Structure 1
Amino acid sequence: MKLTYSGKTKDVYQLEDGHVLLKFKDDVTGEDGVFDPGANTVGLTIEGAGKSGLRMTQYFFEKLAEQNVPTHYINADLDEVTMTVKPATVFGKGLEVICRFRAVGSFLRRYGAYCSEGQALDAFVEVTLKDDDRQDPPISKDGLAQLGILSHEEYDVLKQLTKQISEIVKAEMADNGLDLYDIKLEFGRDPEGSIMLIDEISGGNMRVYQDETYIAPMDLEKILFS
């Protein structure tokens, strides 16, 4: 097992059989000790955060598999806090795809002249480049194509999968009396070149509220699995 990448919230290992092992950490993104799923830096360490994130990720990836949504997931080991996945090739240097159901976070900061905080959005999908130095700039469908990152056809697949996955997560939250405001997803190409969901689905990459009260990631996991 060879360490190939040490990320903010996960370490990535190459396995001898060609698969990849993700080791979840207790580090979460944020600033000044406050959690923020959209932040570009590790803001704090919360004991048990890695296992909590993996438990949610395992649950949602297995739910997506039941609905034949393509993902990189193979299996998970909660005791070791690891997940085995298929190898993936990212788009360019990496993309983040956000599906927004409410106007909050960076969306509100950019477009606040045209909307109010918490205003309902119709599964608004936006794509940003993973680039910490440039604050993860948003990019359009045409921009992705002209820069050779993603074709128009691939963008359409990406958008369709994002909406499908996000609606599945949103429905699960609603069943538990929760409201999904937004969720951040990542995609890549499988060895055959098809688009699949990668990374994780956990409280660390979504904003969830209950009666307009924000639910922290580990509290969210407890609500879902209590």
Structure 2
Amino acid sequence: MTEIADIEKKDLLYKGKAKEMFTTNDPDIMWVHYMDQVTAFNGKKKVQMQGKGQTNCEISSLIFTDLAKHGIENHFIKQLDTNNQLVKRVKIIPLETVVRNFASGSFEKRYGVKHLMKFEKPVTEFFYKSDELNDPFINDFDAEALKVATEDQMNRIREIALKVNDRLKEIFAEMAVDLVDFKVEFGTTSDGQLILADEISPDSCRLIDRKTKKSLDKDVFRKGLGALVPVYKELLGRLEKVEDVQ
């Protein structure tokens, strides 16, 4: 692997809703740029917001670093500056893995349950990554039949996602925040290792302030509840005060 100090950004490989991915002079390392853009409803609602990319980059960097310290392998290598990271190159498995501690979002709509009903144990769900199909719900058997992931990979993804949930709940509890649910993605490295990838930020989590019951996540944008970036910055400020997350 090339020394980190010698890594150079090369060609744009992929531009998503919130990040741009660039190749580097090392085939196993990617350069990630967090954009000042926020989207909702699979990109149907999109706005430029200064400072959003920096805040998400910093939050995700802190969380990935903490998860690695707790034995959860992930793609994060280093935060380079305000909006840029180096990460391990992975082949993304086209699944969104969602872990829910409370009923919200599509689960609430699908089953008509009370908003923020607390589950006795976490619920793990999978969604097939496809903007054209609107990211449909998918189960283990579907994923295997479509050759999206193997049985072993599905079991491992579920296992890691629940470990991530355990640690995130601990972190957010220190911030007086309830983790309602979150989305993660996984990929395989060049040597076939399955690891956590993408990002963990208020773009990919639902977070509720325990005292005020206000949202501290992208629902602020989805529902038009106010300015988003100040909410994200408040969350980052709380995260930076958690003693174990440094």
Same fold (TM over 0.5): yes
Residue 138, structure 1, aligned to residue 137, structure 2: yes
Alignment correspondent of 1:83 = 85
Report how far residue 44 of structure 1 moved.
Answer: 2.0
Tell me how far apart the structure 2 counterparts of residues 170 and 182 of structure 1 sit (CA, whole Å): 10
Alignment correspondent of 1:29 = 39
Residue type of the alignment partner of 1:82: N
Report how far residue 225 of structure 1 moved.
Answer: 2.5
Tell me how far apart the structure 2 counterparts of residues 101 and 43 of structure 1 sit (CA, whole Å): 28
Residue type of the alignment partner of 1:27: Q
Number of residue pairs matched by the alignment:
213
Alignment correspondent of 1:183 = 182
Alignment correspondent of 2:103 = 103
CA contact (8 A) 1:203 1:221 kept: no
Alignment correspondent of 1:33 = none
Report how far residue 195 of structure 1 moved.
Answer: 0.9
1:213 aligns to what SS in structure 2?
Answer: coil
CA contact (8 A) 1:101 1:120 kept: yes
Tell me how far apart the structure 2 counterparts of residues 209 and 158 of structure 1 sit (CA, whole Å): 25
Tell me how far apart the structure 2 counterparts of residues 224 and 43 of structure 1 sit (CA, whole Å): 27
Matches within 5 A, 1:202-213: 202-211=201-210, 212-213=213-214
Tell me how far apart the structure 2 counterparts of residues 157 and 43 of structure 1 sit (CA, whole Å): 34
1:96 aligns to what SS in structure 2?
Answer: strand
Alignment correspondent of 1:36 = none
Q: Percent identity?
A: 25
Q: Please give the TM-score of this superposition, normalised by the length of structure 2.
A: 0.83
Residue type of the alignment partner of 1:220: L
Tell me how far apart the structure 1 counterparts of residues 192 and 161 of structure 2 sit (CA, whole Å): 18
1:47 aligns to what SS in structure 2?
Answer: coil
2:116 aligns to what SS in structure 1?
Answer: coil
Residue type of the alignment partner of 1:214: S
1:185 aligns to what SS in structure 2?
Answer: strand
Alignment correspondent of 2:244 = none
Alignment correspondent of 2:239 = 224
Alignment correspondent of 1:214 = 215
CA contact (8 A) 1:55 1:78 kept: no
Tell me how far apart the structure 2 counterparts of residues 205 and 44 of structure 1 sit (CA, whole Å): 17
Alignment correspondent of 2:114 = 116
Alignment correspondent of 2:64 = 61
Report how far residue 68 of structure 1 moved.
Answer: 2.0
Tell me how far apart the structure 2 counterparts of residues 14 and 223 of structure 1 sit (CA, whole Å): 33
Tell me how far apart the structure 2 counterparts of residues 74 and 57 of structure 1 sit (CA, whole Å): 12
Residue type of the alignment partner of 1:120: K
1:154 aligns to what SS in structure 2?
Answer: helix
Q: Which of 40, 43, 54 is residue 46 of structure 2 equivalent to? A: 43
| CA-atom RMSD in angstroms | 1.3
* Runs of 4+ deviating beyond 6 Å: none
Report how far residue 85 of structure 1 moved.
Answer: 0.8
Residue type of the alignment partner of 1:24: Y
Report how far residue 221 of structure 1 moved.
Answer: 1.8
